[in-house]
Amino acid sequence: MTTPIDNPETVSGIEAPAGMNRRRFLAVSGMAAGAGIALVACGGDDATSTADTTAAGGTSTPAPSTTAATGGGGGDLAIAMGAAGLEVLAVNTYTAGLEAANAGDLGEVPPAVAEFATTAKAQHQAALDAWNTVLTDAGEQAVTMPPADLEETVNQQFSQVTDIPGLAMLANTLEMTAAQTYLDAQAVLEAPEARTLAGSIQVVDQQHSAILNYVLGEYPVPEVFQSTDLSILEN
Amino acid sequence: MSVDERALQELVVESEDLHADAMRDARAVQPDLAELGASRQGRSPDLDRLQQYDTDRRRILRNGGFGLSTLAARGLLGTAFGAAVLNILGRPVAAQGADVDVQILQTASSLEVLAVATYDAALGLPFIRNGNAVVKEFAMTTMDQHDQHRQAFQSQTEALGGQAQNEPNPPNQQVVDDALPTLMNPLDVANLAATLEEVATDTYLANLALLEDPDVRSLMGSVMGVECQHLATLRAVIALLEADAADLIAIPPMIGQYPAAAGSVAFPQPFEEPNLAEPPESGAIA
């Protein structure tokens, strides 16, 4: 039986781009993603958290800038690159949050919250690994850094987090941004297996968001139809 | 039990506002769908599309199923997830000449019809009707959300030239029929509801790989993103009920009193696995 590894041409089901003939991936422009992040109202004005979201990042390969994505990573692969960048940011943010919690910067941390952050971080790491395998199988470099502009925005927000609710709000915005981006991608992803992967991660990110809504005292299922307002895809 | 019912009601109203916005967006794509539907009316089956459908599926199967070497490399394709995806993709086209997108929408409608009926039946049970206020409010709101999903799926079925499905999904109707007489407490109800939510989530996830029309895919993904939150909420509720901690089911929550496991029970895996997915023809009109 032919295995996926035996057929590099379609190893991930996502073929190498033959040029930009479909909607382009915006990566993370300040306007789209920053607008979502700007909705976050963090705990307080005192910048007591010392970790930042770069702390757990990789070393060399950044998420695609708008230029890079449109120039050389069209189609499904461009979306995979953007998705990987979002996952790096999520992993780094949860890592920084856990470090801040362990350092006592966020006050008392309920066991369920620590468990949530640990599990969500691991699941975002799995999602990152999945997208990076798609990319490397297609001959692209793995993404190990978050998009610089979004990272800067998140770091700025993170520096104002002083308590668990503040961290939960920031995390929820990241979860919604990721989930809504994955949903938005359904209209443009061509490979069925890429749509399935995006959908399977969208589900989990939406579930993270539901629990974060509840933790924040909000109704866990606030929408009748999931929106794409926070998507970082170019419309 | 600690419940701020006024706050809860405000949250539900807020949710309804969000719903109104979402429906406006859904209506915005309706003309496009109607146009697409009109273009399909009276047209012979799109053999090219059926061929493409089968070609895509065969390609995926040839490459190891699902095509996700990512998951294969991590051994996930050898799991129930991989088997489930292979099973979905390995199914034959239900009926040559049938519009797969319409079949999928009819089946989705049938699942929503069943969900509405099941939550309605649950709300008639005394231990739900007179029980935990948050659980009751959740059941009422969720029933309404499923009804909106039903309407959206039926509307899009008709926009594509198909017949709206008003009947419940046969295989899962049987599951509900078997379960209803055995429901003795909120935990029983939550488990049944969670099963239906997981069936819906998994079915819609599987549909994403099969649907041709981007607008229908967007709707399917949008509804999936809500059903999976119902499922997550129910998993948390089930965990608390099983721990004999029904008093902790409250809004605002008493987070400090929750066991650590409550932080992860709602999302047991990093990738949703479409294990309970219904095939496109499951609730389609013959």
User: Do B144 and B84 share a structural domain?
Assistant: no
- Residues A124 and A153: their CA atoms lie apart, in Å, by 19
Inter-helix orientation angle B186-210/B170-179, to 10°? 170
User: Do B149 and B82 share a structural domain?
Assistant: no
Which is more confidently placed, A203 or A66?
Answer: A203
Domains of chain A with bracketed CATH: 48-215 (1.20.1260.10)
User: Do B212 and B128 share a structural domain?
Assistant: yes
Does residue B285 fall inside a structural domain? no
Q: Structural domain of residue B155, as residue ranges?
A: 5-44+98-263
Assign residue A161 a region (left: φ > 0; alpha: ψ between -120 and 50; beta: otherwise). Answer: beta
Kindly report the CATH number assigned to the domain that includes residue B194.
Answer: 1.20.1260.10
Query: What's the total number of domains in chain B?
Result: 2
- Residues B145 and B191: their CA atoms lie apart, in Å, by 19
User: Do B187 and B93 share a structural domain?
Assistant: no
Report the residue from B68, B222, B272 with minimal CB separation from A13: B68
Q: Which residues contact A176 (CB under 8 A, 6 or more apart)?
A: A36, A205, A209, A230
Which chain A residues touch B202 with a CB distance below 8 Å? Answer: none
Mean pLDDT of A169-194: 96
Does residue B282 fall inside a structural domain? no
pLDDT at residue B28, rounded to an integer: 53
User: Do B197 and B254 share a structural domain?
Assistant: yes
* CB-neighbour burial class of residue B25 (10 A; exposed 0-12, middle 13-18, buried 19+): middle
Q: Which stretch of A131-140, A160-169, B3-12, B219-228 has the lowest confidence by average pLDDT?
A: B3-12
User: Do B210 and B150 share a structural domain?
Assistant: yes
B153: pLDDT strictly greater than 90: yes
Question: A183-235, pLDDT tens digit by residue?
Answer: 999 999 999 999 999 999 999 999 999 999 999 999 999 999 999 999 998 75
Does residue B270 fall inside a structural domain? no
User: Do B256 and B207 share a structural domain?
Assistant: yes
Residue of A nearest to B274 (CA): A200
- Residues A161 and A174: their CA atoms lie apart, in Å, by 14
B200: pLDDT strictly greater than 50: yes
Is residue A56 within 8 A of residue A91, CB to CB? The reply is yes
User: What are the tokens at B61?
Assistant: 């199967």
Write phi, then psi, for A62 (nearest 5 degrees).
Answer: -75, 160
- Residues B243 and B98: their CA atoms lie apart, in Å, by 48
Taking CA atoms, B88 is separated from A82, B32, B264, B280, B286, in Å, by 28, 29, 28, 9, 20
Cross-chain residue pair B255–A215, CB shorter than 8 Å = yes
Does residue B286 fall inside a structural domain? no
User: What are the tokens at B105?
Assistant: 């929408």
Report the residue from B12, B145, B253 with minimal CB separation from A215: B253
Mean pLDDT of B127-133: 96
Nearest to B148 by CA among B195, B112, B111, B106: B112
pLDDT band at B54 (very low <50, low <70, confident <90, very high): very low
User: Do B155 and B17 share a structural domain?
Assistant: yes
User: What are the tokens at A2?
Assistant: 């032919």
Cross-chain residue pair B233–A193, CB shorter than 8 Å = no
User: Do B18 and B125 share a structural domain?
Assistant: yes
DSSP A140: P
User: Do B40 and B174 share a structural domain?
Assistant: yes
Mean pLDDT of chain A: 76
Which is more confidently placed, B77 or B193?
Answer: B193
User: Do B80 and B24 share a structural domain?
Assistant: no
A6: pLDDT strictly greater than 80: no
Residue of A nearest to B144 (CA): A224
Nearest to B60 by CA among A7, A76, A84, A201: A7
Which is more confidently placed, B139 or A70?
Answer: B139
User: Do B80 and B118 share a structural domain?
Assistant: no
B204: pLDDT strictly greater than 80: yes
- Residues A42 and A181: their CA atoms lie apart, in Å, by 23
Does B140 touch chain A if contact means CB atoms closer than 8 Å? no
B25: pLDDT strictly greater than 60: no
Inter-helix orientation angle A111-137/A75-102, to 10°? 150
Is omega for the bond preceding A110 within 30 degrees of 0, making it cis?
A: no
